[in-house]
Chains A and B, each alone.
Chain A
Amino acid sequence: MFVTAAYAQQSTTTEGAEAHDAAAAGEVHTETGVAHEGEAGSGVFPPFDSTHFASQLLWLAITFGLFYLLMSKVIIPRIGGILETRHDRIAQDLDEASRLKGEADAAIASYEQDLAAAKSKGHKIADDARESAKAKANADRTAVEADLAKKISAAEDRIADIKAKALADVGAIAEETATAVVKQLIGGTVTKAEITAAVKASAGN
């Protein structure tokens, strides 16, 4: 029924304002008519009612102009500033983080360098100790060996000495023994020269 009301209203607009005021018999008519009479009077479809266009344009210009000014002078710089500050802060924090990371990396590097130096120093000390121990052991060993060799040679000398002495004695003993044996066996005596020759001959065998 509102559709018909709208229709009725449209038809009255085409007929004109007087017809609208005068004829308008239907209840629906008067109903819609009253609404228009009070305001526009012309009864056209309200959005196309040109009687208020000037006022609308003026107030739109005032309000939108004010809005534009507020936006461009206050709001946009402010929000832009907020976003800029945040952007800067994030960039700054990232820089700070990368700087700290660099520091941490440097610290790690220097620590590792120190560690490597300490390790090599430790190795060196161990090597030195080992070397010196080895050298000492070698020296001791050679000293002992030399000592032993000396002792051995001394002993050998003595043995040779004793042996020579003994061997020298052997001739005399053999001569004596041979003299005694010959005396016992044949009862005669043999010249000392013969005995010595004989002993020498047997010793030579």
Chain B
Amino acid sequence: MSNDPTHQFLVNKIVPIEIGGIDFSFTNASLFMVATVGVAAGFLYLTTSQRGLIPTRLQSVSEMSYEFIASMLREGAGSGGMKFFPMVFSLFMFILTANLLGMFPYFFTITSQIIVTFALALFVIGTVILYGFYKHGLGFLKLFVPHGVPGVLLPLVVAIEIISFLSRPISLSVRLFANMLAGHITLKVFAGFVTSLSALGAVGIGGAILPLIMTVAITGLEFLVCFLQAYVFAVLTCMYLNDAVHPGSH
């Protein structure tokens, strides 16, 4: 059981709930969603409760994440995109905290569930589409018609643009999901090598050193990936929101 690298992604019911024949149980995934919200919101709330003019270290962490996302969104979508700041900030903090919580042994990684990342990606794309049509009406469709394309090529280019737009939620969700999943499986596999090799006796213990080093190195890499994937998700969200704010500007 402990050797199965996919076991860590199993969803277990904690409190079974069924509404209208559909299973809405409170699971370990739900628990870690709640934990993610608690940790992220608690950190941001408590570190900024002093409202210090001169920030403490932790307060400056909160401020840095705020300014980091604010500048990312301003660069990505212009000042017109700043109304989406709460959304991008929430997404970034939620994904980052979820990824980092998943790095604790025996903790559940909610971003390694395709349905979770897909829901988040659909939330982004849905916002882009709804806001795009709300703000620009049918002018939003100019998004699929780039400027300066010769008339002959236009149908082809429009088809490509539409396909690339439709593939966005998939690429956005699969990128995050696959990175977290693959990272955790790799960690588990290498860590498993250590235990199984060291069970083989002295030679095995000697041979287990290499996977042990790998495990340590991959753990470091995974922390980087945790941050990087949250960052990538936020950056891409900013880029997609830019399409909703300024369609046909690319």
Q: CB within 8 Å of B: which residues of A?
A: 1-3, 5-6, 9, 31-32, 34-36, 39-40, 45-64, 66-68, 70-72, 74-76, 78-83, 85-86, 89
Q: Which residues of B contact A35 (CB under 8 A)?
A: 1, 4, 7, 10
Question: Which of A31, A36, A55, A75 sits near B45, CB closer than 8 Å?
Answer: A75
Instruction: Tell whether, in the assembled complex, residue B4 and residue A51 are in contact, meaning their CB atoms are under 8 Å apart.
Output: no
Q: Which residues of B contact A31 (CB under 8 A)?
A: 1, 3-4
Instruction: Tell whether, in the assembled complex, residue B53 and residue A6 are in contact, meaning their CB atoms are under 8 Å apart.
Output: no
Instruction: Tell whether, in the assembled complex, residue A56 and residue B23 are in contact, meaning their CB atoms are under 8 Å apart.
Output: no
Q: A34-B1, A89-B53 are in contact. Are A59 and B10 (CB under 8 A)?
A: no
Instruction: Tell whether, in the assembled complex, residue A2 and residue B85 are in contact, meaning their CB atoms are under 8 Å apart.
Output: no
Question: Which of A40, A64, A78 sits near B94, CB closer than 8 Å?
Answer: A64
Interface: B181 (CB within 8 A)? yes
B56 CB, min distance to chain A CBs, angstroms: 11
Q: Which residues of B contact A5 (CB under 8 A)?
A: 3-4
Question: Which of B4, B26, B62 sits near A9, CB closer than 8 Å?
Answer: B4
Q: CB within 8 Å of A: which residues of B?
A: 1, 3-7, 9-13, 17, 22-27, 29-30, 33-34, 36-37, 40-41, 44-45, 48, 51-53, 55, 59, 62-63, 66-67, 85-87, 89-90, 93-94, 110, 112-116, 119-120, 123, 177, 181, 188-189, 192, 196
Q: How far is A74 from B93 in the complex, measured between Cα atoms in Å?
A: 14
Q: A51-B23, A72-B90 are in contact. Are A60 and B33 (CB under 8 A)?
A: yes
Instruction: Tell whether, in the assembled complex, residue A79 and residue B62 are in contact, meaning their CB atoms are under 8 Å apart.
Output: yes
Nearest-CB residue, chain B, relative to A71: B90
Instruction: Tell whether, in the assembled complex, residue A48 and residue B114 are in contact, meaning their CB atoms are under 8 Å apart.
Output: yes
Q: How far is A61 from B122 in the complex, measured between Cα atoms in Å?
A: 12
Nearest-CB residue, chain A, relative to B89: A71
Instruction: Tell whether, in the assembled complex, residue A47 and residue B1 are in contact, meaning their CB atoms are under 8 Å apart.
Output: no
Instruction: Tell whether, in the assembled complex, residue A2 and residue B5 are in contact, meaning their CB atoms are under 8 Å apart.
Output: yes
Mostly helix, strand, loop or mixed at chain B's interface?
helix
Q: How far is A143 from B83 in the complex, measured between Cα atoms in Å?
A: 100
Question: Which of A32, A67, A80 sits near B4, CB closer than 8 Å?
Answer: A32
For the complex of A and B, the 10 pairs showing the least CB-CB separation, nearest first, are A72-B86, A59-B30, A63-B33, A46-B9, A52-B11, A2-B3, A79-B66, A67-B37, A71-B90, A68-B90
Q: Which residues of A contact B33 (CB under 8 A)?
A: 59-60, 62-64
Instruction: Tell whether, in the assembled complex, residue B67 and residue A56 are in contact, meaning their CB atoms are under 8 Å apart.
Output: no
Instruction: Tell whether, in the assembled complex, residue A47 and residue B48 are in contact, meaning their CB atoms are under 8 Å apart.
Output: no
Q: A3-B189, A52-B23 are in contact. Are A80 and B66 (CB under 8 A)?
A: yes
B44 CB, min distance to chain A CBs, angstroms: 5
